[in-house]
Amino acid sequence: MAKIIGIGKYVPEKVLTNFDLEKIVDTSDEWITTRTGIKERRIAPKNTGASVLAYEASKIALKRSGLKASDIDLIVVATITGDTPFPSTACFLQNHLKAANAACFDVSAACAGFVYGLAAGWQFIKGGLYKNVLVVGSEVLSSITDWKDRSTCVLFGDGAGAVILTASKKDSILSAYLGSDGSESEILMVPAGGSRLPASEETVKNRLHFMKMKGNELFRIAVRVMVQAAGKAIKGAGLEFSDVDLFVPHQANERIISAVSERIGIPREKIYINISRYGNMSSASSAVALCEAYEEKKIKKDDIVVLDVFGGGLVWGSMVIKWA
Ligand code: ACO
Would you say the CB of residue 222 lies under 6 angstroms from ligand 1? Answer: yes
Q: At what angle do helices 254-264 and 29-36 cross, to 10 degrees?
A: 20
User: Are the CB atoms for 112 and 316 separated by under 8 Å?
Assistant: yes
Cβ of 144 less than 6 Å from ligand 1? no
Give the atom of ligand 1 at the shortest distance from the alpha carbon of 280: 48
Task: Please report the pLDDT score of residue 1 as a whole number.
Answer: 93
Write down the H helix ranges in the chain. 18-22, 29-36, 50-65, 89-97, 113-126, 150-153, 201-205, 215-236, 254-264, 275-278, 283-295
SS3 string, 36-74, reads HCCCEEECCCCCCCHHHHHHHHHHHHHHHHCCCHHHCCE
CA of 109 to the centre of ligand 1 (A): 22
- Binding site membership of 282 for ligand 1 (Cβ less than 6 Å): yes
Q: How many angstroms separate the CA atoms of 292 and 284, rounded?
A: 12
pLDDT of the chain, 324 residues: tens digit per residue = 999 999 999 999 999 999 999 999 999 999 999 999 999 999 999 999 999 999 999 999 999 999 999 999 999 999 999 999 999 999 999 999 999 999 999 999 999 999 999 999 999 999 999 999 999 999 999 999 999 999 999 999 999 999 999 999 989 999 999 999 999 999 999 999 999 999 999 999 999 999 999 999 999 999 999 999 999 999 999 999 999 999 999 999 999 999 999 999 999 999 999 999 999 999 999 999 999 999 999 999 999 999 999 999 999 999 999 999
Phi/psi at 285 (5° precision): -60, -55
Q: Whose CA is nearest to atom 12 of ligand 1?
A: 151
Q: Whose CA is nearest to atom 27 of ligand 1?
A: 216
**Residue 216 exposed, middle or buried by CB count within 10 Å (0-12, 13-18, 19+):** exposed
To the question of pTM greater than 0.85 for the whole model, the response is yes
Shared fold status for 2-171 and 174-322: yes
- Cβ of 314 less than 6 Å from ligand 1: no
Q: Whose CA is nearest to atom 11 of ligand 1?
A: 151
Return the residue whose CA atom lies nearest to atom 48 of ligand 1. 311
Taking the centre of ligand 1 as the mean of its atom positions, its distance from the CA of residue 36, in whole angstroms, is 8
CATH 3.30.420.80 applies to domain 174-322: no
Could you tell me if the CB of 270 is within 6 A of ligand 1?
no
Structure confidence at residue 193 (pLDDT): 96
d(CA 274, CA 40): 10
User: What's the pLDDT score for residue 142?
Assistant: 98
Using only C-alpha atoms, what is the Rg of the chain? Answer: 18
CA of 192 to the centre of ligand 1 (A): 22
Q: Ligand 1: does its nearest atom lie under 6 Å from the Cβ of 253?
A: yes
For a substitution probing ligand 1, which of 219, 255, 283 has the most ligand atoms within 8 Å of its CB?
219
Q: Ligand 1: does its nearest atom lie under 6 Å from the Cβ of 283?
A: no
Ligand 1 centroid to 151 CA: how many Å? Answer: 5
| C-alpha of 261 from chain center | 19
What pLDDT is attached to residue 27?
98
How many of the other CB atoms lie within 10 Å of CB of 273?
18
Maximum Cα–Cα distance for the chain, whole Å? 56
Whole-number pLDDT of residue 169: 93
pLDDT of residue 204: 98
CA of 31 to the centre of ligand 1 (A): 10
CATH class assigned to 2-171? alpha beta
Ligand 1 center from residue 156 Cα (angstroms): 12
Residues 6+ away with beta carbon under 8 Å from 192? 198, 199, 200, 203, 206, 208, 209
Q: Whose CA is nearest to atom 8 of ligand 1?
A: 151
Q: Please report, for the chain, the start and end positions of each structural domain, with discontinuous segments joined by +.
A: 2-171, 174-322
**Which residues are known to be catalytic?**
111, 250, 280
